[in-house]
């Protein structure tokens, strides 16, 4: 750390010591100055950045930490923007929810105080609630914005602050950048009004839960199948998070009477004591649930992340369980939805589904079978929400998903929703069972019909300033020297979302990409494989998404083809020098 940086840190820390901060905060700063200079640097070397999704960081004292003051400044900035956007509105309203993390309730109450101190009406959930219910509440209560305090599946030291707009979706252009500008204008803590007006804070809870759960129940497409198979055995774990508040109730509402909850993980606890990471994408997070499922002979395991917007599943395979990735779960869910909409005579030709550009093309193959319109969007569920908003009242959204374990059915929520997803995935599983097949067998049948899609994600971490430069060079090299073939198949289409151009290398035709500019490259091969490359927007890493396509002749060939496709991905990884 340079002398100049050291001085900047000391100047920032001293500004807190001399400012209107509480005595406990000042005591901790003095202690860091005397005994822990490294922590002082980490806490003050920069300001915690309000990004396009809000705040996320380690909790503690300092300008680079999640605390009362950084949360207060973010809320004041968002407040100022809301007032600029809705000047003629007699009463601006917001909804606030929080997860089970340490300090989440405290940060939610600070947020409520700052909004109400500025004359904004606040609907504050009485206790922890899933993030998607916050999205629902914004629209249900006629709010202009919303906040959820969560750091999703980050380690226990973290917390976060996600901002939503009046449509119930997370902030997108131009609001995201404009809110950032307003937050960055807050030059002093003295500009933040922490003196909450209790008359403007209304506590909400069960009354919103009931409406939300009823809307979810109305999504059910096979109630008679559930009645017939009401004892279908399910194991569910909320991983110490908010899912416990509503997922079991929603499953009960659907008619499932044999749901076993992993009791050790049913306790809301921001320390997440039974898992290394409360992330349903990690196999270890489902270990306790799978163990329980084996004990009781269950057929389906579901695990939700701490804020209950994503769900991971495991399905029975003989005496064991197989974890399904986000692409596979999304494919099974979309196939179920479209098949049932078709069987129930609900398709009018005006329906559509949405996925992100890095999600499996299998979803579109299934949609094409039923002549369902489909849309690709950039990575991030807020872009799926934007499509729903754009076609509201014009077209009917059936469902959508992203490879990172987030799915949505119906349009009354505008974010990925694990409460809905658990209910509809359970219905998909019981529908398959009623036909005499397992979820895994149904997936194999999809591969036989449309092609075997095998996906893999590799993240290359490159930290610091030199890492950022290296990531930039990797992207530059791919643009100037794109691969001519991948896995032995020629590259036939290159999509560059930064220049918004799709280049067909066979015909030489260039077509515009009608999506916001983003630093993403995609390479499509002649045989239907896809490789996507994008730097992460939140972490010092560059992500490579591999989607390889093969042929599956029979269920019995699954393991052989699966292994061959895995080997093919490994060879492409080597080709790319990863």
Q: Which of 173, 150, 144, 138 is nearest to 54 (CA)?
A: 150
Look at the block and give the residue holding tokens 């991030």: 380
Whether residue 117 has a cis bond before it, omega within 30° of 0: no
Q: Tell me the three state secondary structure of residue 203.
A: strand
- From the list 152, 222, 360, 404, the catalytic residue is 152
- Calculate Rg over the CA atoms of the chain: 24
| SS3 of residue 443 by DSSP | helix
What Å distances lie between residue 442 and 8, 11, 160, 333, 337, CA to CA?
60, 62, 38, 11, 14
- Measure CA of the first residue to CA of the last residue in the chain; give whole Å: 31
Q: Is 487 helix (H, G, I), strand (E, B) or coil?
A: coil
- Report how far residue 573's alpha carbon sits from residue 578's, in angstroms, rounded to the nearest whole number: 6
Residue 152 is a catalytic residue? yes
**Pairing status of strand 121-125 against strand 93-98:** parallel
Give the phi and the psi of residue 24 in degrees, each rounded to 5.
-65, -40
CA angle 317, 359, 315 (to 5 degrees): 15
Three-state SS at 204: strand
CA 175, 169, 139, 367 torsion-angle sign = positive
38 close to 5: Cβ distance less than 8 angstroms: no
Tokens of 275: 């898992």
C-alpha span between 291 and 293 (Å, rounded): 5
Tokens encoding 80: 């100022």
Q: C-alpha angle with apex 395: 393 to 397, nearest 5 degrees? A: 105
Q: What is the DSSP string of 332-389?
A: HHHHHHHHHHHHTT---S-EEEEEETTS-THHHHHHHHTT-EEEEE-SSHHHHHHHHH
Distance in angstroms (rounded) separating the CA atoms of residues 519 and 101: 32
Active-site positions read 152
């Amino acid at each position: 750390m340079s002398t100049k940086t050291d001085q900047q840190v000391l100047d920032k820390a001293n500004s807190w010591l001399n400012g209107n901060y509480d005595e406990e905060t000042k005591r901790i700063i003095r202690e860091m100055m005397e005994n822990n200079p490294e922590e002082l640097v980490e806490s003050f070397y920069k300001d915690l950045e309000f990004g396009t999704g809000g705040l996320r960081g380690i909790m503690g004292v300092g300008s680079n930490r999640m605390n009362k003051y950084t949360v207060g400044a973010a809320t004041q900035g968002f407040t100022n923007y809301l007032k600029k956007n809705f000047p003629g509105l007699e009463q601006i309203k917001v909804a606030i929810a929080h997860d089970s993390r340490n300090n989440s309730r405290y940060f939610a109450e600070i947020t409520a105080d700052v909004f109400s101190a500025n004359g904004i009406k606040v609907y504050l959930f009485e206790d922890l609630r899933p993030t998607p219910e916050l999205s629902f509440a914004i629209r249900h209560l006629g709010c202009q914005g919303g906040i959820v305090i969560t750091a999703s599946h980050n380690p226990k030291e973290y917390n976060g602050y996600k901002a939503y707009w009046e449509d119930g979706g997370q902030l997108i252009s131009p609001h995201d950048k404009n809110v950032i500008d307003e937050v960055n204008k807050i030059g002093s803590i003295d500009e933040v009004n922490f003196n909450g007006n209790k008359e403007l804070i209304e506590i909400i809870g069960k009354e919103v839960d009931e409406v939300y759960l009823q809307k979810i129940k109305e999504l059910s497409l096979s109630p008679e199948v559930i009645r017939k198979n009401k004892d279908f055995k399910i194991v569910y774990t909320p991983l110490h998070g908010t899912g416990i508040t509503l997922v079991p109730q929603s499953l009960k509402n659907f008619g499932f009477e044999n749901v076993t909850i992993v009791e050790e993980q049913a306790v809301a606890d921001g320390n997440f004591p039974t898992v290394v990471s409360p992330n349903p994408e990690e196999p270890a997070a489902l270990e306790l649930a799978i163990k329980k499922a084996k004990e009781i002979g269950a057929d389906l395991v579901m695990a939700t992340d701490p804020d209950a917007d994503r769900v991971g599943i495991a399905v029975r395979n003989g005496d064991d369980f197989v974890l399904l990735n986000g692409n596979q779960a999304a494919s099974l869910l979309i196939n179920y939805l479209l098949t049932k909409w078709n069987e129930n005579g609900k398709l009018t030709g005006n329906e559509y589904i949405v996925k992100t550009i890095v999600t499996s093309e299998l979803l579109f193959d299934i949609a094409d079978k039923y002549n369902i319109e489909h849309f690709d969007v950039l990575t991030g569920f807020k872009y799926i929400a934007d499509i729903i908003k754009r076609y509201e009242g014009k077209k009917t959204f059936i469902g959508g998903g992203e490879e990172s374990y987030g799915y949505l059915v119906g349009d009354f929520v505008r974010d990925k929703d694990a409460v809905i997803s658990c209910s509809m995935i359970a219905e998909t599983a019981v529908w398959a069972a009623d036909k005499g097949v397992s979820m895994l067998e149904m997936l194999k049948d999809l591969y036989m019909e449309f092609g075997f899609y095998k996906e893999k994600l590799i993240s290359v971490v490159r930290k610091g300033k030199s890492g950022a430069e290296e990531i930039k060079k990797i992207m530059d090299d791919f643009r100037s020297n794109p691969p001519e073939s991948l896995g032995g198949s020629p590259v036939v289409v290159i999509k560059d979302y930064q220049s918004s151009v799709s280049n067909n290398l066979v015909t030489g035709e260039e077509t515009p990409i009608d999506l916001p500019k983003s630093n993403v490259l995609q390479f499509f091969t002649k045989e239907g494989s896809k490789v996507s490359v994008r730097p992460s927007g939140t972490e010092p890493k560059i992500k490579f998404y591999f989607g390889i396509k093969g042929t599956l002749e029979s269920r019995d060939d699954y393991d052989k083809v699966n292994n061959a496709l895995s080997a093919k991905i490994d060879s492409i990884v080597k080709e790319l020098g990863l």
